[in-house]
Amino acid sequence: MLDYGTFRVDAKRQKECAGAALHDIHSLLCELIQKFEPTVVAVESIFSALNVRTALRLAEVRGVVLLAAAQHGVAVHSYSPREVKASVAGYGHADKRQIQLMVRALLSLSEMPEPADAADALAVALCHIQADQARVRFGIPATTSVATPMSGRPARRNGRETPLGAAGI
């Protein structure tokens, strides 16, 4: 783990125009991709939220993540929330606190990863690493949601993937 955190868009910025927050998220993601040069982005798949407005906002942000990854030729792997929880905590219905505790333990962090959304993003990356190791071990071809990189950059370096977890943005 090189870095983690969350990105909050100021309420004033959100009111400037409908796409201001998405633009800021896209810019940040592009900066992170250029800085860390991941070979894959791991994201949580869309789930049915109780609040339709929240579900739509998450779908918009997910679209921005997919766009930034495609623009930089980075493969994208998607995992359901239940898949991430089962992979990291051993239980598909684990709560946020359990995920934070397991992420802390798996990454040997001295402190609890805060906020919980940052721990969720780390959990998505950990889920991908575990899934990728299983794919390699059993010779299963990887499936990605970005089939053709726009930049022509290779999806793998030295046979290993370097994930960037994206959740809770």
Q: Are 21 and 134 a contacting pair, CB within 8 Å?
A: no
Domain ranges of the chain: 11-166
Q: Kindly report each contact of residues 148-156 with a partner whose C-beta sits within 8 Å and lies 24 or more positions away, as own/partner.
A: 149/70, 149/72, 149/73, 149/74, 149/75, 150/70, 150/71, 150/72, 150/73, 151/71, 151/72, 151/73, 152/73, 153/72, 153/73, 153/74, 154/39, 154/73, 155/39, 155/40, 155/73, 155/74, 155/75, 156/39
Average pLDDT per run of 10 along the chain, which is 169 residues long? 89 84 95 96 82 86 96 95 96 95 97 94 96 91 55 44 54
Q: To which H or E segment does residue 166 belong?
A: strand 163-166
Q: Which residues contact 102 (CB under 8 A, 6 or more apart)?
A: 88, 89, 90, 94, 123
Looking at residue 9, its pLDDT comes to: 83
pLDDT in tens, 31-55: 999 999 999 999 998 876 678 888 8
Which long-range contacts link 95-102 to residues 24+ away (Cβ below 8 Å)?
96/120, 99/123
For residue 67, what pLDDT is reported?
A: 97
The pLDDT value recorded for residue 164 is 63
Which one is the CATH code of 11-166: 3.30.70.20, 3.30.420.10, 3.40.50.970, 3.40.630.30?
Answer: 3.30.420.10
